[in-house]
């Protein structure tokens, strides 16, 4: 008698996938976003200008600009577990080596290589969640998964400055490296593809100029990229400069201002889940939540600029939470919008392409805004640039939607 075929994974397993993908994202973000929480310590020990401090963030996110397209294509053809597991290992090694750096240029090099490993986590986890939830609670699932980024950042902001103050930023780097490796390995061990994909033949390579150009010609993709570029620039402006702004503007010590950054990241967790779950109630209008986020972030920054230095810390905390909720929360509905609109055989390539464009904002915003700070001697012009970018994006995407109907 022939042995019965193995039964496919139960539907409840998709929540296991979601949990491990979220943990892997949180662990990788703990390492990379932890740089923002350690920026003040690195600035002090390496005697950096504001622009050089921002360049630390740029270095860690430069590699994904080039690697995300290839990672996205691989995800359409290879196992997500393999790619994320290897990515975690690549992230682990240079973070350890960065902890030994005594020269600024060497530190930048190791952070650049670490970014190669991180580039596997974002599209890999998003694609795995999309595969298991597409058509059913995709927004909620993607929001929970994307909440791993601010969750990891919040934990990093709460934990790493304390480690740096007690021992050194080098010890904080070692802790970050170990956490990132554990997250990637857990996902690699646990993840299995959906039953309908398990026996599917490997797809042919989709990474061609024509494939990418075809994506870029579509109005919905252009809207996603324009909005994503402005929003991610604002996000990393908040992550990089909020803590330092509170130190210089309100004279709050780094170890204390780190808690405001942690609060912003924690609010970002709620934003990613809440906004994405809200978008499930009106999938056709997911993009409108991105427009709402642009307005909310701009309003929060305007308030931040005009409040006096003596503002009570309770109000500063409320403002940090507002900026975190919208400044990080937008990413949940944005990724759900991409995954839902993309062709089923090009989800990885679509995510990789859009995320690669986002890297321009992640790379450019911290050092350019730091340069603005150095040239003007203050933060007003820095924040004004962020508001201007959001306003331009809001106008451009609104005009395009009016013309195209999307």
Domain range list for the chain: 13-192+201-404
Output DSSP code: residue 47.
Answer: T
Query: Tokens 């109907």 — which residue?
Result: 405
Question: With the CA atoms of 175, 93, 244 and 272 taken in that order, what torsion angle do they form, in degrees rounded to the nearest 10?
Answer: -80
| pLDDT of residue 153 exceeding 90 | no
Cα–Cα distance list, 113 to 31, 35, 63, 166 (Å): 13, 14, 7, 27
Please compute the mean of the pLDDT values over residues 169-173 and round it to a whole number.
89
Torsion sign (Cα): 62, 329, 25, 131: negative
Q: Among 184-198, 199-213, 339-353, which is the least confidently predicted range?
A: 199-213
pLDDT at 401 exceeding the cut of 60: no
Average pLDDT over residues 127-155: 76
Which residues does 358 contact at the CB level (< 8 Å), separation at least 6?
A: 225, 228, 229, 232
Q: What share of the chain is helix, strand, coil (3-state, %, to 5)?
A: 85, 0, 15
Residue pair 132/194 in contact (Cβ under 8 Å)? The answer is yes
For residue 132, how many C-alpha atoms fall within 13 Å in the half-sphere facing its CB?
28
d(CA 231, CA 389): 9
Distances from the Cα of 109 to the Cα of 161, 192, 393, angstroms:
23, 34, 32
Q: What is the pLDDT of residue 5?
A: 43
Mean pLDDT across 112-134: 78
pLDDT bucket at 296, cuts 50 / 70 / 90: very high
Predicted confidence band at 298 (pLDDT cuts at 50, 70, 90)? very high
In 3D space, the residue among 359, 112, 378, 98 whose CA is nearest the CA of residue 244 turns out to be 378
Structure-model confidence comparison of residues 102 and 50, the more confident one: 102
* 376: its two tokens: 């003007």
Fold of 13-192+201-404: Growth Hormone; Chain: A; (1.20.1250)
Residues 6 or more apart from 47 whose CB is under 8 A from it? none
Residue 132: both structure tokens together: 């298991």
User: Which range has the worst mean pLDDT, 68-77, 106-115, 125-134, 397-406?
Assistant: 397-406
Contact predicate 23/152, CB 8 Å: no
Rounded alpha-carbon distances, angstroms, from residue 287 to 236, 248, 258: 21, 36, 32
Q: For the chain, give the longest Cα–Cα distance.
A: 81
Whether 142 contacts 342, CB under 8 Å: no
More confident residue, 364 or 306: 306
Give me the mean pLDDT over the 48-64 stretch. Answer: 76
């Amino acid at each position: 008698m022939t042995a019965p075929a193995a039964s496919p994974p139960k539907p409840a397993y998709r929540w296991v996938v979601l949990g491990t993908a979220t943990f892997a994202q949180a662990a990788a973000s703990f390492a990379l976003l932890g740089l923002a929480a350690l920026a003040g310590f690195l600035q002090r020990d390496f005697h950096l200008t504001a622009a050089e401090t921002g360049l630390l963030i740029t270095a860690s996110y430069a590699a994904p600009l080039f690697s995300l397209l290839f990672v996205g294509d691989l995800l359409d053809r290879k196992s997500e577990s393999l790619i994320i597991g290897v990515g975690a290992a690549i992230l682990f090694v240079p973070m350890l080596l960065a902890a030994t750096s005594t020269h600024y240029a060497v530190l930048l090099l190791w952070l650049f290589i670490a970014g190669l490993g991180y580039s596997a986590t974002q599209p890999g986890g998003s694609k795995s969640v999309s595969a298991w939830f597409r058509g059913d609670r995709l927004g909620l699932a993607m929001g929970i998964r994307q909440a791993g980024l601010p969750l990891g950042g919040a934990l990093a902001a709460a934990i790493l400055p304390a480690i740096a103050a007690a021992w050194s930023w080098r010890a904080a780097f070692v802790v970050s490296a170990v956490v990132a490796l554990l997250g990637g390995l857990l996902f690699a061990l646990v993840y299995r593809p959906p039953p309908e994909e398990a026996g599917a033949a490997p797809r042919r390579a989709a990474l061609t100029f024509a494939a990418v150009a075809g994506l870029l010609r579509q109005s919905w993709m252009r809207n996603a990229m324009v909005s994503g570029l402005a929003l991610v620039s604002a996000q990393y402006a908040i992550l990089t400069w909020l803590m330092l702004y509170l130190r210089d503007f309100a004279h709050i010590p780094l170890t204390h201002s780190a808690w405001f950054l942690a609060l912003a990241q924690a609010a970002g967790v709620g934003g990613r889940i809440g906004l994405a779950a809200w978008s499930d109630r009106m999938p056709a209008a997911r993009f409108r939540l991105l427009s709402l986020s642009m307005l909310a972030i701009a309003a929060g920054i305007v308030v931040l600029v005009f409040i006096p230095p003596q503002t009570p810390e309770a109000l500063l905390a409320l403002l940090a939470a507002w900026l975190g909720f919208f400044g990080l929360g937008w990413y949940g509905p944005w990724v759900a919008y991409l995954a839902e609109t993309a062709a089923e055989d090009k989800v990885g390539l679509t995510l990789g392409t859009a995320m690669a464009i986002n890297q321009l904002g992640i790379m450019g915003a911290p050092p350019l805004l730091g340069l603005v700070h150095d040239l003007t001697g203050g933060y007003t012009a820095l924040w004004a640039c962020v508001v201007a970018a959001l306003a331009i994006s809001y106008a451009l995407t609104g005009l395009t939607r009016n013309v195209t109907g999307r």
